[in-house]
Amino acid sequence: MTQASCELDVRPILRSGGEPFSAIMQAVNGLSAGQALRLLATFEPVPLYGVLGKKGFDHAAREIGNGDWEVLFTPQGQAASARPIPDGAAASGWPVPLHRLDNRDLDPPEPMVRTLAAVQELRPGEVLCALLCREPVFLLPELGKRGFEWQGGFEADGTTYRLLIRKGAQREAAE
């Protein structure tokens, strides 16, 4: 399982006229190996892309409304290290997916919305296989926050991202 990203909301700092750079760098320096940083800001932090790029991070940004932005900084090469998952069998001893969801022809954010709705119907231990046309950089942290395990990667052709999502047994006790 991939670990959840670290979240840092610098909007309060920015709204009070402060400078969040030191808080951002402190968060980056506190990340575990392979861990991503989810940053919330009042503007798209374009200058930060180069700074964190030199520290080995890729970024994916989206406006989330009211001028606010969400940026996911992931360690470079993390997507390349994810391995494709065979169609008929699950990786690492997971059960064969009982549910399938093909989101390849949908525009964002519909794949994320549909996937999050579908995983809520899973019983503990069940697996859903979602097919996507891009790496789901915003979906993965959400799955982690909600207690789901996931594994994924691009298929050999490089055009389909196959994502397996499993509801863990520990989630059942919390519900």
Q: What is the CATH number of the domain that holds 148?
A: 3.30.110.40
Number of domains in the chain: 2
Estimate to the nearest angstrom the gap between the alpha carbon of 12 and the chain centroid.
24
pLDDT surpassing 80 at residue 172: no
Q: Are residues 30 and 65 in the same domain?
A: yes
Same-domain status, 34 and 74: yes
Q: Are 59 and 93 in the same domain?
A: no
pLDDT bin (cut points 50, 70, 90) of residue 169 is low
In angstroms, rounded to a whole number, what is the distance separating the alpha carbons of residues 165 and 148? 7
Residues 100 and 155 in one domain: yes
DSSP string, 5-60: PEEEE-HHHHHTT---HHHHHHHHHTPPTT--EEEEESS--HHHHHHHHHTTEEEE
Partners of 54 in beta bridges: none
Q: For residue 174, what pLDDT band results from cuts at 50, 70 and 90?
A: very low
- Same domain membership, residue 89 and residue 166: yes
Considering the domain architecture, whether residues 114 and 68 belong to the same structural domain is answered as no
Q: Are both 58 and 89 inside the same structural domain?
A: no
Average pLDDT in the 23-47 region?
91
Q: Are residues 86 and 67 in the same domain?
A: no
State the residue range of the domain holding 24: 6-79
Identify whether residues 35 and 107 lie together within a single domain.
no
Which of 16, 45, 79 is the last residue before a domain boundary? 79
Tell me if 138 sits within 8 A of 60, measured CB to CB.
Answer: yes
Q: If we measure between CA atoms, which residue out of 168, 133, 174, 143 comes closest to residue 36?
A: 143
Question: Given 61, 79, 97, which residue is the final one in a domain?
Answer: 79
As a three-state string, the secondary structure of 106-142 is CCCCHHHHHHHHHHCCCCCCCEEEEEECCCCCCHHHH
Does 38 lie in the same domain as 25?
yes
Look at 32-36, 53-57, 72-76, 79-83 and tell me which has the smallest mean pLDDT: 79-83
Same domain, 94 and 160: yes
